[in-house]
Structure 1
Amino acid sequence: MFHATIYNAAKPALQANVKQLYLTHISARYTKEVQRLMLERQAQTIFPASKVVGDFDVFDI
């Protein structure tokens, strides 16, 4: 099974008119903060309310 890409996550969020997209379970290839910010910026070009978060982070919705 393959992981979703940033596009695979952000495009449906945009189409579904959701308020916030939290991207989690990021590949181990992206361990540095600068790499995670790059992914977040890529997602935000499609869906501005995107944020890369950590596994097991908790948010009120």
Structure 2
Amino acid sequence: MTVQSMSIGYLRFNPNPVDAGSSTLFSANIVQTDMTWAQVAELTWAEMLATKTW
């Protein structure tokens, strides 16, 4: 994730669904952003590939 994308939004892959507080594996907290959902999904997938925590 680039510095630019971090400045406009916060997206984190949570490998533990219990910590996410829901049935999903992803914890996404987009505070302030003009990102599209396609960009969010792309960042999520890129982070998953980079961290290999799934």
What TM-score results when the alignment is normalised by the length of structure 2?
0.38
Q: Which has the higher strand share?
A: 2
